[in-house]
Structure 1
Amino acid sequence: MGLREEKKERTRTALVEAAVRLFGEKGYERTTVAEITAAAGMSTRTFFLHFPAKEDVLLANARSRIDKGLAVVGGRRPGQSVAAVLEAALTAMVADVVADDLPSGLAAARARLAASEPDLAARLLHGLVSAHTELAEALARAFPAELDEVSAAAVVGAAVGAVSAAAEAALRQGLPPAEVRAAMLRAPALAAVHLTAAPA
């Protein structure tokens, strides 16, 4: 990462940390962009150079996370199964959450606010659906003989949905980062076991 990118990343991190703190202290709705930027020692113009709107702070790392998953799927090696590729993609994405969103408190803030702010929950759901779609399309391209778009969407939806739901539940319980990570990584297999065992 060059100096310019490092500075950009530091700026984004400072804005995210200020936003998370203020959301916790004042509430999401009562926190303004001006207050976030003041707390971070920056201008509102700087904020909007990094985030289109206040709610986008909560999705600060989403694009890079999706790109990491897509890179894993796109780099599928000959002989790798659907399950192995999807597991590797999810592991890379979970690692990104653990490295960035858990230490900053962003993941916990996102889970908390999604349960209490309907408009924000809709925005977060839209982002999740978009991620599902991109990953499913990539998986279908990687396994054209095994998956069509519908089956790829079902596989990705089940796996990513399990990871997201487990993360939210673990965060609501206030579990430490290591336990949140473990819950996210075991979620797809746990869901698969119980779905397979369910009566038809």
Structure 2
Amino acid sequence: MTLRERKRRRTRQAILAAATELFERDGYTATTLDDIAAAAEISKRAIFSYFASKEDLLFPESDARIGAAIGAIEARQPGDGPVQVLMRAMTTTTQDSDDLTGRRAALRLRLIRTVPALRGRALQQQLDAQREIARHLAAAFPADLDAISAAALTGAFIGAVMGVLDLLLEKEDPLQDPAEVRATLLRATQVALAPWLEASSAKRDL
């Protein structure tokens, strides 16, 4: 990584840290981009070099998660099935980033419940992710999945993740231990995807 790339990464992280702190302290609606720029010690204009809108500050890794899933599909090994590549993608993304398991995840889920614009944004991103991942799964595993089964599998996978995160949010001290959250997500997705795992095992045994 070049010096310029490291500097951009540090600036991006400073913006996200400032936004998270201010959203927690002052609320999403009351916090302005000017406030965030001042806290991050950059200009407001500079924020737009990293994020297109204030909403994007709460969903900074959404595209990366879709990319990780598609990357896992494309890097599949002989013997891998659709479930295996989805589980590998989740493991990779939760190890590389705490966006689903840490402080910002808890904040995002709380705000989705109370800010209609964020709730709509979250739903649209979830639908877009399901559609894109399902399309790649169906193309990669034509012997195992058609468009309908790929959509169902992807929906079960993403639904399990979101359902568990929503449940963990209700705890008095939500998402305190990212490692514990990762383990819980893994267990939940294994439960949700058990029918596909069993069908895959039965097919291999034939």
* TM-score, normalised with respect to structure 1: 0.89
Question: One-letter code of the match for 1:63?
Answer: D
| 1:70-149 correspondence runs (5 A) | 70-98=70-98, 100=99, 102-103=101-102, 105-149=103-147
Q: Which residue of structure 1 lines up, in the alignment, with residue 13 of structure 2? A: 13
What residue in structure 1 maps to residue 199 of structure 2? none
Q: Which runs of 5+ in 2 are unaligned?
A: 196-206
Cα distance between partner residues in 2 of 1:151 and 1:191? 14
Whichever residue aligns with residue 14 of structure 1, its letter is A
Aligned equivalent of 2:192 = 191
8 A contact 1:112–1:172 mirrored in 2: no
Structure 2 contact 101–182 (Cα < 8 Å) conserved: no
Q: Percent identity of the aligned residues?
A: 42
Q: In 2, are the aligned partners of 1:136 and 1:149 still within 8 Å (CA)?
A: yes
Verify the 8 A CA contact 2:101 2:178 in the aligned structure 1.
yes
Structure 1 residues 132-185: Cα deviation after superposition (integer angstroms, max 9, x where no partner): 111111111110121112210110110111012212321342142222111211
What is the Cα-based RMSD across aligned positions, in Å? 1.8
AA matched with 1:92: T
Structure-2 residue corresponding to 1:60:
60
SS at match of 2:48: helix
Query: What pairs with 1:27-46 in structure 2 (closer than 5 Å)?
Result: 27-46=27-46
Structure number with higher helix proportion:
1
Following TM superposition, by how much is the alpha carbon of 1:191 offset from its aligned partner in structure 2, in angstroms? 2.9
- Supply the AA of the counterpart residue of 1:168: D
Give per-residue Cα distances to partners, 1:53-97, cap 9 Å, x unaligned.
100001112222221121011111122122222221222233234
**For the structure 1 residues 125 and 97, does the alpha-carbon distance in structure 2 shift closer, same or farther, using more than 3 Å as the test?**
farther
- How many residue pairs are counted as aligned between the two chains? 192
**Larger CA deviation: 52-61 vs 85-94:** 85-94
Preserved contact between residue 140 and residue 148 of structure 1 (Cα < 8 Å)? yes
8 A contact 2:69–2:85 mirrored in 1: no
Match of 2:204 in 1: none
Whichever residue aligns with residue 22 of structure 2, its letter is: L
User: In structure 2, what is the Cα distance between the partners aligned to 1:110 and 1:163?
Assistant: 14
Q: CA deviation at 1:102?
A: 4.1
Q: Kindly state the Cα deviation for residue 49 of structure 1 after the two structures are TM-superposed.
A: 1.1
